[in-house]
Structure 1
Amino acid sequence: MLKILGRASSVNVRKVLWLCEELAIPFRREDWGEGFTSTHSPAFMALNPNAQIPVIIEGDFVLWESNAILRYLASAWEGDWLYPQNARARALIDQWMDWQSTELNTSWRYAFMSLVRNSPAHQDPRLLAAACKGWSHTMGILNQQLAKTGRYVAGRNFTLADIPVGLAVNRWYETPLDHPDYPAVRTYYERLTERHGYTLWGRNGTP
């Protein structure tokens, strides 16, 4: 059985849990793993030297980096309907997954740490205002894309890209800041909520 290491409140762990729901993958989740209690323990860092979650274990196979895990599981568990073999269709999915992990994540980090995590190191009003503006800008890019496709981030069908992007949208709405009126993003948020996996691991009150 697939073992998933990482706390269920982590947005990156929730990516994997949502995909498991979509593909009916049986799994066992552990906060850090048997025999160790921290990502910085030697036992955990032997699995992932970056000391980050999630990590998956299947027999003697170990994999880290959440988006790499999504791609692997979709390929290994008959998830072609989420991550098709067609090179151009797959490239568009990868494009938006990579955009989420780079541009979008970078834009929200300071504001999220300030407004949700209440980090003392992220309370500079000037930097917070700039971060909120930058986050709004990247969400505006997403709004344009969703208005263009009319449905999901990589086209008309739900794909693997909608899992990381959908969780990022939930984080946007769960963070207490002024949200510009992005109708396509709001409609997308409601559409994703029709999926059981999203109500379990995405729009569940956890940013």
Structure 2
Amino acid sequence: MMTIWGRLTSINVSKAVWAARELGLEFNRIDVGGPYGGLDKPEYVALNPNSKIPTLDDNGYILWESNSIVRYLAAQYGAGTLWPTDPRERGLSDRWLDWQATEFAPAMAPAFIGLIRTPEDKRNPQAIAESVARGNRLILLLEKFLADGRQYLAGDRFTIGDIAVGCAVDRWFLLPIERPATPLLAQWHKRVSSRPSAQGVLQQKLA
């Protein structure tokens, strides 16, 4: 049986769970991290030496790093669907998976940590404001990209790029910040978040 380790309120765990559900895979999910703890237990460190979430156990095949897990699941179980067989279409999908990890996530991390995980009297307002401004600039890049009428990030088919960015944008909409008008992004977000596989995965309490 496949197992995904990690609390669902983690965006990285959400990506892995959404991918597995989209592929119709049967799996168990075990809560670790955050209020559940367990990341420093020897048995978990043996699975994931980074002591972070998520970790995938696919019948003895152990993998960590959320985007690597999403790529693996799609390649192993979703060739031709979540994992495009055409290298150019797959490249477009992969681009957004990496954009989420290398651009958007670092941009929004100070705002998320400051607003959600830091007591109000200990927050750094300047760092939060700079983070929000940087994140909003990237969001407007995404809004402009969607202006050509495409349904999904790699074209007209839902792929792993939509999963990674979908989780990140979902959190962005939940943060208590000022946001620019993004009607196209809102439409895309509604399109991907209404998929059956996304129900119970998105709109999680920020933690």
Residue 9 of structure 2 contacts residue 204 of structure 2 at CA under 8 Å; is this kept in 1? no
Query: Within 2, Cα distance between the matches of 1:152 and 1:140?
Result: 16
Gaps of 5+ in 2: none
Greater RCO, 1 or 2 (C-alpha within 8 Å, sep 6+): 2
CA deviation after TM superposition for structure 1 residue 5, in Å: 0.8
Query: Cα RMSD over matched residues?
Result: 2.1
Query: Within 2, Cα distance between the matches of 1:195 and 1:41?
Result: 36
CA deviation after TM superposition for structure 1 residue 32, in Å: 3.5
Counterpart secondary structure, 1:57: strand
Residue 8 of structure 2 contacts residue 204 of structure 2 at CA under 8 Å; is this kept in 1? no
Q: CA, structure 1 residues 101+43, in 2 after alignment: closer, same or farther (shift >3 Å)? A: same
Q: CA, structure 1 residues 164+78, in 2 after alignment: closer, same or farther (shift >3 Å)? A: closer
Query: Within 2, Cα distance between the matches of 1:72 and 1:180?
Result: 35
- Listed one character per residue, the Cα deviations across residues 121-151 of structure 1 (whole Å, up to 9, x for unaligned) are 9711221111110010111111111223531
Query: Within 2, Cα distance between the matches of 1:200 and 1:117?
Result: 22
Q: CA, structure 1 residues 115+65, in 2 after alignment: closer, same or farther (shift >3 Å)? A: same
CA deviation after TM superposition for structure 1 residue 204, in Å: 4.7
Q: CA, structure 1 residues 176+136, in 2 after alignment: closer, same or farther (shift >3 Å)? A: same
Question: What is the match of residue 41 of structure 2?
Answer: 41
Gaps of 5+ in 1: none
Q: TM-score, normalised by structure 2?
A: 0.91
Q: Within 5 Å, give how 1:59-74 maps onto structure 2.
A: 59-74=59-74
CA deviation after TM superposition for structure 1 residue 99, in Å: 0.5
Q: Name whichever of 163-172 and 43-52 sits farther off.
A: 43-52
Query: Within 2, Cα distance between the matches of 1:134 and 1:121?
Result: 23
Is 1:202 aligned to 2:202, yes or no? yes
Q: Within 5 Å, give how 1:51-90 maps onto structure 2.
A: 51-90=51-90
Give the count of matched residue pairs. Answer: 205
Q: Name whichever of 78-87 and 131-140 sits farther off.
A: 78-87
Counterpart secondary structure, 1:90: helix
Identity of aligned residues (%): 35
